[in-house]
Amino acid sequence: MHRRSGSEILLNIYLWVFLFYLFLPLIVMGAATFNSSRFPTVTPWLGTTLKWFGELAADDRMWDGLISSLGVGIAVVVISVPVGLGAALLLTGLKGKSRTFVYGVMVSPLLTPGVIIGISTLVFWDRLGVGPGLHLATLGQCSFIIAYVMLMVLARLQRFDATLEEAGLDLGASHAQVFRRVLLPYLKPSLIAAAVLAFFQSFENYNTTLFTRGLDTTLTVYIASKVRTGLTPAVNALALILISITILGAIGYEILRRREQARDLAAKRRAAETERRETQLA
Amino acid sequence: MKDLVKRYGLMLTSYMVVASLVWIVLLVILPYFMMVNYSFRPNLVAADIGGPLDHYTIDNYITLFQNQVHFHVFLNTIWGGALVTFICLCVCYPIAYHLAKVATPQRAAFLLLLLVIPFWINEILRTFAWFIILAYQGPLNAFLKFFHIIDKPIRYLSGNGAVMVGMVYAFILFMVFPIYNAMESLDKNQVEAARDLGAPTWRIHWRVVIPHAKPGIAVGCIMTFMLAVSSYAVPSILGSTNSRWFTEIIYQWFFEGQNWPQGSAYAFILLLLCIIFILVMMRVFKVGLTDIAK
């Protein structure tokens, strides 16, 4: 039934070349960690070593950067998840032109370059007497990360069966109870996913942070400054660790997302099945 | 609004409104407004702010057109961004098509997972990887020399070439995923029908696949162009003095020149450039804003 044409084979080869292109630089970068050469490279190979991990661990500025990044990341999650949730719920209550307008304003930070978000945040808060620093980096990042959270919550809200809420209210539950017992549990997977995404976005942010950080340094800023001045394979060691964490994180995230999708699909099927049986009985 | 109160109660509704307003007004609209406001003011010492010298002016915008170097960098940035976008589009289209319409669902899921991994890795690290590869005594030169393709090493890290290579690598996945998403909803039978009716492959793509994938292509181009022209990391790591990027000049105005109004004006010009590009893409591909911001 499915014939393999020449063009399909070509497309396959092309795909593997593309994947090779995506991964080779990362592999080279990781491999350079184990070369004892002072400059990070794989040619020539001057001997295998683990000393660069030790050098990385001894670098206080790296630890400072890491702690700053973790702090900013957590602060961004704490702010952006509740606000994004509120914004998504608000959108469900708007209709027509006003909804389009509010939606447009809310997603506009996603279509704005990160450097511009950083600059506008810096300039605005400076006028109010708030100087740059990690707190400003947090606010700058929030302005667009909230939009991601809002979109993720909204996507799940659109499949929500509002009659469940009505049922709760009709049975005498308070608004707070319905929110806590019906809506929040339903939104939980998307809130967790949004929190993970928000943290990652914050952790790897460079453009917005660059303009709002003042004299503080996050891990990403630390790496960039290291690459330009004072480069040793210790940076590769850090890159290798971050890539490993990212790979594990990405796989974990995907598995969760797919399990969620499968569960949704199964629930939908069950509902359809029940409905079919009921109509047959009637 | 009444529906919301009825559905969620007064407390929760007030929270939604307040949270959204704080975000939109304090973190988005007012900062933009302040940046634009700044860009139309002269650069003054603190004592002169609010004084007779503090009036609106378009001098900061005129600077760009008077300063030959800056204007050249500006044009170079637009051209570079457009080139990166075009290369990414050409490279990604077949990949997205394969993922969406040719591969079996299980295979597509596996491949998508493979693609997601580099996508999650920091832009700085992805750029750094190319810094190693393209170094004067790096693996690429060593490889080419080993196979006698070149006699002596090439200095890649000077000029625009390395920046383009780095940008294509850094932003290419922002092109794959939107196009893939758009193509996924295309009914395979349409492609089969066109083929059975005797359309050649290029025509199937031109008349069936591309029209369907338009919103995805538009989003991919917008994201890639925006990321490319506003990138600071890639040109600062892979570039040299003769391949400067517009963002580097903005950065200089802010932190070396200490001239924030001038920097704000340049930043606003960069934002306008992105907005114009978005509008052009919407016109070319005939898609609406709701298609884009999904």
Assembly ipTM: 0.89
Q: How far is CA A59 from CA A51, A97, A217, A244, in A?
A: 13, 55, 14, 20
Residue range B13-53, pLDDT digits in tens: 999 999 999 999 999 999 999 999 989 988 887 777 777 77
Beta-carbon pairs below 8 A across chains A and B = 245
Do B107 and A2 form a contact (C-beta atoms < 8 A)?
no
| Cα three-residue angle A207-A212-A214, rounded to 5 degrees | 120
Q: Give per-residue pLDDT as tens, A136-166.
A: 999 999 999 999 999 999 999 988 888 888 8
pLDDT in tens, A46-57: 888 888 898 888
Q: For chain B, what is the mean pLDDT? A: 89
Instruction: Give chain A's length.
Output: 282
* Tokens, residue A66: 């890491």
For domain A59-231, the CATH class is mainly alpha
Chain B nearest-CA residue for A255: B113
Contacts with A, B 68-127, CB within 8 Å: 91, 94-95, 97-98, 102, 109, 111, 113-127
Chain B: residue whose CA lies nearest to A123:
B35
Mean residue pLDDT of chain A comes to 89
**Closest-CA residue of chain A to B99:** A15
Tell me what percent of the residues of chain A surpass a pLDDT of 70.
98
Question: At A145, is the secondary structure helix, strand, or coil?
Answer: helix
| Mean pLDDT value of segment B80-85 | 96
Give the residue from chain B lying closest to A250, CA to CA. Answer: B117
Flag if A83 and B22 touch (Cβ within 8 Å): yes
Residue A2 has pLDDT above 60, yes or no: no
- pLDDT of residue A67 exceeding 90, the answer is yes
Domain-by-domain residue ranges, chain B?
A: 64-292
pTM of the model: 0.89
For residue B187, the distance in angstroms to the closest alpha carbon of chain A comes to: 17
| R_g of chain B, CA atoms, integer Å | 24
CB B160 within 8 A of CB B243: yes
Which amino acid, residue A120?
S
Name which residue leads in pLDDT, B209 or B117: B209
Confidence of residue B271 (pLDDT cuts 50, 70, 90): very high
Find residue A35's DSSP bridge partners.
A48
pLDDT computed for residue A91 by the predictor: 92
How far is residue B98 CA from its own chain's centroid? 24
From chain A, pick out residues whose CB is under 8 angstroms from the CB of B143.
Answer: 43
Amino acid at B134: L
Interface test with A, best of B110, B115, B120 (most A CBs within 10 A): B120
> What average pLDDT does this structure show over A124-141?
94
What is the tens place of the pLDDT at every residue in B149-200?
888 888 888 778 899 999 999 999 999 999 999 998 888 888 889 989 988 8
Band (B294; pLDDT cuts 50, 70, 90)? low
Q: Which of B37, B77, B124, B131 is nearest to B248 (CA)?
A: B77
pLDDT tens across A242-263, in order? 999 888 887 887 787 778 778 8
Lowest mean pLDDT among A267-281, B14-28, B72-86: A267-281
* Amino acid making up residue A122: L
Q: CB distance A113–B229 less than 8 Å?
A: yes
Region B66-86: mean pLDDT is 94
Asked whether the beta carbons of A210 and B43 are under 8 A apart, the reply is no
pLDDT at A3 over 60: no
A contacts of B271 (beta carbons < 8 Å): 112-113, 116
Q: What distance in Å separates the CA atoms of residue A233 and residue A35, rounded to the nearest whole number?
A: 8
C-alpha distance from residue A228 to each of A61, B128, B239 (Å): 15, 10, 11
Hey, what are A148's tokens?
A: 């991601």
Lowest mean pLDDT among A2-11, A90-99, A126-135, B217-226: A2-11
A166 near A175, Cβ under 8 Å?
no
Among residues A114, A113, A116, A94, the alpha carbon closest in space to that of A104 is found at: A94
- The CA-atom distances, in angstroms, between A2 and each of A8, B192, B282 are 11, 12, 37
The domain limits of chain A are 59-231
In contact, A220 and A209? CB cutoff 8 Å: yes
The pLDDT value recorded for residue A1 is 41
d(Cα B149, Cα A13) in Å, to the nearest integer? 24
B64-292 classified as CATH 1.20.120.160: no
Q: Is B197 exposed, middle or buried (0-12, 13-18, 19+ CB in 10 A)?
A: exposed
For residue A172, give the 3-state DSSP assignment: coil
Q: Which amino acid is at B31?
A: P
- Tell me the mean pLDDT in the region A56-74: 93
Q: How far apart are CA A119 and CA B107, in angstroms?
A: 43
Residue with tokens 């929190």: A195
Q: Is A51 helix (H, G, I), strand (E, B) or coil?
A: helix
Q: Which residues of B touch A220 (CB under 8 A)?
A: 122, 124
Q: Any bridge partners for residue A252, and if so which? A: none
**B contact test, residue of A39, A116, A139 with most B CBs within 10 A:** A116
Q: Which of residues 194-233 of B touch A (CB under 8 A)?
A: 201, 222, 226-227, 229-233
**Which residue among B3, B16, B31 sits closest to A121, beta carbon to beta carbon?**
B31
Report the distance separating Cα A252 and Cα A254, nearest Å: 5
Q: Under a CB-based contact definition with an 8 Å cutoff, are residues B227 and B171 in contact?
A: yes
For position A282, what pLDDT does the model report?
66
Q: Are B112 and B98 within 8 A, CB to CB?
A: no
Residue B50 backbone class (left: φ over 0; alpha: ψ -120 to 50; beta: rest): left
In chain A the first and final C-alpha atoms are separated, in Å, by 42
For the record, the structure tokens of A68 come out as 């700053």
